[in-house]
């Protein structure tokens, strides 16, 4: 049989009903594997249409209940409170105070022990504590104690104004997220994660309920740096951290919103029971995307997760998939193991809605897709030269970056610290960063105009306001401008609005002064600091505002 007749058979398969190509069993099922190897070669010169996408039936965006809660607010605290709401804050508060009480009941302390200064915390103090954790991600210091140092070259007075070093140390010591008295190793879903399990489950549920992702989603792993003693610590040489705690994450491709995650703990990792008979990568994918099935989503994965088995199962649930795939995966055409392509050459096969392709660029790349054919498109390179690439490769590169985007943005201002010895506190700080990132994504989708760094600064200010119990109009200067004395600040022109040629704002420094009659000075300027969101004269007010605590 020649290649054209082979491909005509494949056309029949493409037009077949979904049930014909969507059934699947485990990779260990020999019948399925033999069937999966019956691939039809594709004539890459023939203009055959690509298989259609499944119809997308979800309604993406901020969910109605969350939308009602937010209204038209642009307050970062409101977006953060979607995830760290009263329920979660009360849970942390209760378990922290309980753990401290148990500690004193079981420990024989000396009279000079610092722990004897402990007193139960409350919601206001917990807000201050979270604010300082987030601020540590923006004001980087190698040693945590340096934040309270009074040496001129290290001094950051704001930390001491909010909370003493001793009190902060006690809160960090007794910070806890589970009731140890109720722990039962036989009944707990994952004993390895018992110290962080509840808070992780609560936050992930809130991530899901607050937002419905767009059609394109991606699954990848994220590594949180950790070098302490832990049996399920991972080593991934391709990650920057290399050693750490691995998260399997499903993110929206466009925004990087973290919608679902699984903490990998080796054999004890929790997956949905109905998928336990599959291999690790397959049950990981099916667990993460479980609530999005049958809605026409397009999933992008890398070669750890992608396989013919996963593709066939997802097709059964009306979910398309694009991904790189290892050339020796079970179920792929046998020719892929022996093919030796020249640069620019393509070899492709089709089975039903599933297309697999090998393309030689600098090295051989193997792709799998349920919505592509072997079409080539022209792509402009960085050197302004045009290059032919398979369309599936171009679309993969465009949609795979969801997890990488969230990881990249979280790496700019991480509240996690390299010397955090307790794994569960390390995970909590990472979950806190994830909640702030998701809150920022919702803020932008709700029409907010602050950048990520300005959003975090404003959130820290609001946490300190809540902790001090102060209304916004009566916030001390030291709290109102938490980070104006640190970081990178540059003057920019005030954005014009309406039909005006330019806009102006009141100068924060000039307008803080009074004239000889005791009246406030009113002076406008065309310049502002976008990070601090205030108008400032280019000179000397911009320098004064960012170098003097009082003006």
pLDDT tens column, 444-480: 999 888 999 999 999 999 999 888 765 444 444 444 4
Block residue for tokens 């949905």: 272
pLDDT, mean of residues 498-516: 76
pLDDT value of position 470: 52
Is 176 part of a structural domain of the chain? yes
% the chain with pLDDT above 90: 51
Q: Are 215 and 60 in contact (CB under 8 A)?
A: yes
Asked if the model's pLDDT at residue 297 lies above 80, the reply is yes
Q: What six digits make up the tokens of 196?
A: 């962080």
Domain boundary among 408, 442, 472: 472
Domain count, the chain: 2
Contacts 24+ apart (CB under 8 A), 358-362: 358/327, 359/389, 359/390, 359/393, 361/389
Is 302 part of a structural domain of the chain? no
Asked if 465 and 487 sit in the same domain, the reply is no
Asked if the model's pLDDT at residue 508 lies above 80, the reply is yes
pLDDT, mean of residues 161-189: 91
Name the band, by pLDDT with cuts 50, 70 and 90, for residue 385.
Answer: confident
- Cα separation, 383 vs 207, in Å, equals 41
Is 20 part of a structural domain of the chain? no
Its sign, for the CA torsion 109, 110, 114, 116, is positive
Asked if 77 and 160 sit in the same domain, the reply is yes
Asked if 438 and 484 sit in the same domain, the reply is no
Contacts 24+ apart (CB under 8 A), 440-444: 440/76, 440/79, 441/211, 441/255, 441/256, 441/257, 442/62, 442/66, 442/70, 442/79, 442/82, 442/210, 442/211, 442/257, 443/74, 443/76, 443/79, 444/255
Give the residue numbers spanning the domain of 520. 477-546
Is 23 part of a structural domain of the chain? no
- Cα separation, 244 vs 415, in Å, equals 16
Is 481 part of a structural domain of the chain? yes
Asked if 527 and 433 sit in the same domain, the reply is no
Name the band, by pLDDT with cuts 50, 70 and 90, for residue 514.
Answer: confident
pLDDT value of position 12: 42
Asked if 499 and 432 sit in the same domain, the reply is no
CB atoms closer than 10 angstroms to residue 524: 14
SS3 15: coil
Cα-based distances in Å from 421 to 227, 402, 417, 433 = 9, 30, 9, 18
Asked if 537 and 429 sit in the same domain, the reply is no
Asked if 100 and 206 sit in the same domain, the reply is yes
pLDDT value of position 20: 37
pLDDT, mean of residues 365-376: 92
Asked if the model's pLDDT at residue 309 lies above 50, the reply is yes
- Cα separation, 476 vs 481, in Å, equals 9
CB atoms closer than 10 angstroms to residue 151: 7
Asked if 448 and 516 sit in the same domain, the reply is no
Reported as type and span, the H/E element at residue 249 is strand 243-252
Asked if 427 and 481 sit in the same domain, the reply is no
Asked if 446 and 517 sit in the same domain, the reply is no
pLDDT, mean of residues 293-307: 94
Asked if 468 and 515 sit in the same domain, the reply is no
Asked if 427 and 511 sit in the same domain, the reply is no
CA 94 to chain centre: 28
The tens digit of pLDDT for each residue in 389-437 reads 999 999 999 888 777 888 888 889 989 888 888 999 999 999 999 999 9
- Cα separation, 25 vs 181, in Å, equals 42
Is 327 part of a structural domain of the chain? no
pLDDT, mean of residues 60-70: 89
Angle in degrees, CA 237, 239, 243, rounded to 5: 65
Burial class (CB in 10 A: 0-12, 13-18, 19+), 11: middle
- Cα separation, 536 vs 545, in Å, equals 8
Is 205 part of a structural domain of the chain? yes
Is 350 part of a structural domain of the chain? no
Domain boundary among 457, 472, 487: 472
Q: What six digits make up the tokens of 303?
A: 């070669």
Asked if the model's pLDDT at residue 57 lies above 90, the reply is yes
Domain boundary among 429, 448, 472: 472
- Cα separation, 535 vs 508, in Å, equals 6
């Amino acid at each position: 049989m020649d290649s054209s007749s082979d491909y005509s058979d494949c056309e029949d398969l493409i037009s077949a009903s979904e049930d014909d190509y969507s059934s699947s069993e485990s990779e260990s099922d020999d019948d399925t594997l033999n069937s999966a190897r019956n691939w039809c070669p594709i004539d890459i010169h023939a203009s055959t249409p690509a298989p259609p996408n499944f119809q997308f039936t979800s309604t993406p965006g901020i969910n109605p209940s969350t939308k009602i809660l937010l209204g038209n607010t642009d307050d970062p605290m409101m977006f953060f409170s979607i995830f760290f709401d009263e329920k979660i804050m009360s849970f942390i508060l209760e378990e922290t105070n309980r753990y401290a009480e148990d500690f004193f009941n079981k420990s024989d302390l000396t009279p000079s022990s610092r722990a004897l200064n402990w007193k139960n915390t409350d919601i206001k103090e917990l807000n201050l504590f979270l604010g300082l954790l987030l601020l540590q991600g923006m004001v980087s210091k190698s040693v945590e104690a340096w934040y309270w140092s009074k040496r001129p070259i290290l001094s950051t007075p704001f930390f001491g104004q909010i909370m003493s070093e001793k009190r902060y140390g006690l809160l960090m010591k007794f910070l806890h997220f589970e009731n140890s008295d109720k722990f039962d190793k036989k009944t707990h879903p994952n004993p390895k994660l018992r110290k962080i399990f509840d808070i992780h489950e609560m936050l992930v549920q809130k991530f899901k309920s607050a937002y419905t992702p767009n059609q394109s989603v991606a699954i990848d792993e994220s590594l949180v740096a950790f070098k302490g003693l832990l049996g399920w610590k991972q080593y991934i040489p391709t990650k920057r951290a290399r050693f750490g705690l691995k998260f399997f994450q499903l993110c929206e491709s466009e925004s990087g919103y973290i919608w679902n995650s699984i903490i990998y703990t080796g054999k004890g990792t929790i997956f949905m029971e109905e998928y336990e008979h599959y291999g690790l990568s397959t049950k990981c994918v099916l667990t993460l995307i479980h609530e999005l099935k049958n809605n026409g989503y397009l999933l992008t994965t890398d070669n750890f997760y992608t396989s013919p088995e996963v593709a066939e199962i997802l097709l059964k649930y009306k979910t398309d998939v694009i991904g790189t795939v290892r050339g020796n995966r079970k179920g792929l055409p046998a020719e892929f193991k022996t093919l030796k392509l020249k640069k620019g050459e393509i070899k492709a096969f089709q089975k039903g809605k599933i297309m697999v392709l090998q393309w030689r660029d600098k090295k051989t790349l193997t792709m799998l897709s349920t919505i592509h054919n072997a079409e080539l498109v022209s792509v402009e390179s960085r050197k302004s030269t045009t290059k032919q690439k398979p369309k599936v490769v171009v679309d993969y590169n465009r949609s795979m970056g969801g997890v990488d985007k969230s990881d990249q943005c979280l790496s700019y201002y991480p509240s996690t610290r390299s010397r955090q010895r307790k794994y569960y506190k390390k995970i909590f700080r990472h979950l806190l960063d994830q909640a702030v990132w998701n809150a920022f994504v919702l803020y932008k989708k709700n029409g907010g105009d602050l950048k990520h760094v300005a959003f975090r600064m404003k959130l820290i200010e609001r946490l300190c306001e809540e902790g001090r119990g102060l209304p916004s109009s009566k916030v001390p200067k030291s709290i109102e401008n938490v980070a104006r004395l640190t970081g990178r600040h540059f003057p920019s022109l005030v954005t014009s609005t309406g039909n005006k040629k330019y806009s102006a704002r009141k100068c924060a420094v000039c307008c803080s002064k009074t004239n000889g009659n005791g009246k406030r000075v009113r002076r406008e300027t065309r310049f502002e600091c976008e990070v601090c969101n205030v108008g400032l004269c280019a000179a000397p007010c911009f320098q004064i505002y960012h170098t003097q605590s009082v003006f």
